[in-house]
Structure 1
Amino acid sequence: MPVVALIVAAGRGSRAGEGLPKQYRSLAGTPMLTRTLAAFLSHPEIDQVVVVIHPDDRALYEQSIAEVGLSESQRLLPPAYGGETRQDSVRLGLETLAATADVVVLVHDAARPFVTPDLIERAIAAGRQGAAVPGIPVTDTIKVVDPQGAVVSTPDRTALRAVQTPQAFPYAMLSEAHRKAAAVELHGFTDDGALAEWAGLPVRVFDGDPGNIKLTHPVDFSAAERRLKGVSMAYLTRLGTGFDVHAFAEGDHVWLGGIRVPHDRGVLAHSDGDVILHALTDAILGALADGDIGTHFPPSDPQWRGASSDRFLAHAVELVRQRGGIVDHLDTTLLCEKPRLGPHREAMRQRIAEIAGLRVDQVSLKATTTEKLGFTGRSEGIAAQAAATIRLPEVPA
């Protein structure tokens, strides 16, 4: 059963920053597309390879394949030109093949240059049985949210997989699925496994490879350079602090640590007034040196009136992850006479861990009174101070 690899390289890669389209950028002196192509052209079970490129990139493509002699490979077919979306590009690439039902097609993103021979072999074996995609277990807690950012559900992550490429299909099966989607003008599929599911095809998941990363953001390229040079990623530890206070007002509850706590007072606040989550958000933003909660969520903006503060904390954590960082620990001290923290402490720790995608043992929560001193001692308001420890990739000077 012949095997054809279709490499998708028609995107612009805008999230990778300014400069060349990311598939043509240099990684340790070699264009990324060249590295990806070499992985497939060197595999003994790959019969042909075709690259789908942007019409404006022909010169960049020719340079990439000529740089290390890939253009001399008899298995490398002339490039196909892509369309406006990834889905369009795959369909157009398939149309240039004019293959038969007995061919297995591996669809792979050019931005995954670390694909291994073992993963390619697993993909081929799976594709000979039908539609199949590589996947790795999900380690972060996943939230389903509505358009306003409110949590709708929390799926069981043991049943979730993060899907990669190469994805494998019998040619006729995948080609027909693409034709059906194009006929009804559906163009939003970001991977071929999802399109196959839409077309009613059974899709299996085989073991992916955690090292088969997709290079999307600038920090991904820095990490890839270090990996190719045999240098482990170095991280810098940063500590940020945060403080928040709200005056008591009429009401029957307060929000603390993402939990609604019954109380004989409420708080004056533009959002829900959760001092714990506000302080933690500022602590993380402080560690990032990225302003404060008011910078990201201005009180003058009516869309944040009454907003749930879990959105603020989740946003700050996502900023860390976008920079390739890790949140190690969150620590908060609540300052008030009432309400008492004890009965709600563990529920708050669990909720904070869920919002931040952490283990509960990475969340510390304490409380203290101020011995009847100050505004908290007079029960005029409530306050919290927080610290966040994060790690960010070390960027060479």
Structure 2
Amino acid sequence: MTIAAVVTAAGSGSRLGADVPKALVHIEGRALVAWAVARVREIADAVVVTAPPAHLGAFVEAVDGLATVVAGGQTRQDSVALGLTALDLADDDIVLIHDAARAFQDPAIMAATIAAVREGADGAVPVVPVVDTLVGAPGRDGVLGDAVNREALRAVQTPQTFRAAVALDAHRRGTAGATDDASLARELGYRVVAVDGHEWGFKVTRASDLPLAIAIAAQLEAP
């Protein structure tokens, strides 16, 4: 059984204020995608990165032989499907689908998702509690929407991990436009379970996320 991973890395970086794809932004001397690949390589035997077609050379240089780089598609869903194809998976392999923007996710969380699949789940997803007060969107009159019970909600992280046959089937038959891979699998009736996520699995999205990313990277680099 092979443990493999697809790392999607096609974000534009516009919200980060970068002039390169987000995954090429450097944190403590290494591209974000390089951090993501290094972390997932602690768990996975084979890694494919899906990158913007115009920047393949830069991504190959960034991952420095730790992953195979292939061109991504028009959407994240397209990119994941291309990555799965590039891995040439057997049905009983296990595949992690991860985002380069969540570059610092704890490998122990990745291992927990794998363990859940080995124990019989079709897929496993790390989740964390929602800490903010939540309300419905304001109406046209500007009145605040009703409060939402945050205890009933969880925020989803990656990697989302599946038996390979499940991931392949979900991307073959699932509805276009799904926001994540677990949604594709669940709509087909597959059993996807939750594991506890980690605060380091946050998504680097805006410039305000960079100080935390830098602090984590510095901690990982410390002797």
After TM superposition, the score normalised by the length of structure 1 is: 0.51
Query: Cα 1:50–1:147, aligned 2, differ >3 Å: closer, same or farther?
Result: farther
Structure 2 stretches lacking a partner, 5+ long: none
Assess if the C-alpha contact under 8 Å between 1:85 and 1:187 holds in 2. Answer: no
- For the pair 1:142 / 2:134, whether they are aligned, the reply is yes
Which of residues 82, 93, 107 is equivalent to 1:92? 82
Q: Which protein shows a greater Rg?
A: 1
After TM superposition, the score normalised by the length of structure 2 is: 0.88
Which of residues 54, 77, 81 is equivalent to 1:56? 54
Query: Could you say what secondary structure the match of 2:38 adopts?
Result: helix
- Deviation of 1:217 after TM superposition, in Å, equals 0.2
Which of residues 191, 195, 200 is equivalent to 1:206? 195
Which of residues 152, 170, 177 is equivalent to 1:188? 177
Cα deviation digits, residues 50-96 of structure 1 (max 9, x gap): 11111111111122023xxxx1x5xx3x3222111111111111122
Match of 2:115 in 1: 125
Match of 2:35 in 1: 35
- For the pair 1:177 / 2:177, whether they are aligned, the reply is no
Assess if the C-alpha contact under 8 Å between 2:56 and 2:70 holds in 1. Answer: no
Name the CA distance, whole Å, in 2 between partners of 1:158 and 1:60: 43
Name the CA distance, whole Å, in 2 between partners of 1:18 and 1:166: 24
- Deviation of 1:28 after TM superposition, in Å, equals 0.8
Alignment of 1:1-397 (within 5 A): 1-41=1-41, 43=42, 45-66=43-64, 71=65, 73=66, 76=67, 78-128=68-118, 129=120, 130-145=122-137, 148=140, 153-181=146-174, 186-229=175-218
Query: Cα 1:158–1:172, aligned 2, differ >3 Å: closer, same or farther?
Result: same
Assess if the C-alpha contact under 8 Å between 1:8 and 1:90 holds in 2. Answer: yes
Structure 1 stretches lacking a partner, 5+ long: 231-397
Match of 1:354 in 2: none
Structure showing greater relative contact order (alpha-carbon pairs closer than 8 Å, 6 or more residues apart) = 2
- Deviation of 1:211 after TM superposition, in Å, equals 2.0
Assess if the C-alpha contact under 8 Å between 1:9 and 1:52 holds in 2. Answer: yes
Name the CA distance, whole Å, in 2 between partners of 1:126 and 1:146: 39
- Deviation of 1:5 after TM superposition, in Å, equals 1.1
Instruction: Letter of the 1:127 partner, please give it.
Output: V
Q: What is the aligned residue count? A: 216
Query: Could you say what secondary structure the match of 1:205 adopts?
Result: strand
Name the CA distance, whole Å, in 1 between partners of 2:139 and 2:74: 26
Q: Structure 1 vs Structure 2: percent identity of aligned residues?
A: 38
Query: Cα 1:144–1:214, aligned 2, differ >3 Å: closer, same or farther?
Result: same
- Deviation of 1:152 after TM superposition, in Å, equals 5.4
Assess if the C-alpha contact under 8 Å between 1:105 and 1:127 holds in 2. Answer: no
Name the CA distance, whole Å, in 2 between partners of 1:117 and 1:194: 23
Instruction: Letter of the 2:61 partner, please give it.
Output: Q
Assess if the C-alpha contact under 8 Å between 2:4 and 2:47 holds in 1. Answer: yes
Name the CA distance, whole Å, in 1 between partners of 2:60 and 2:36: 15
Name the CA distance, whole Å, in 2 between partners of 1:147 and 1:60: 45
Assess if the C-alpha contact under 8 Å between 2:56 and 2:71 holds in 1. Answer: no
Query: Could you say what secondary structure the match of 2:158 adopts?
Result: coil
Assess if the C-alpha contact under 8 Å between 2:95 and 2:164 holds in 1. Answer: yes
Cα deviation digits, residues 228-259 of structure 1 (max 9, x gap): 335xxxxxxxxxxxxxxxxxxxxxxxxxxxxx
Query: Cα 1:193–1:147, aligned 2, differ >3 Å: closer, same or farther?
Result: farther
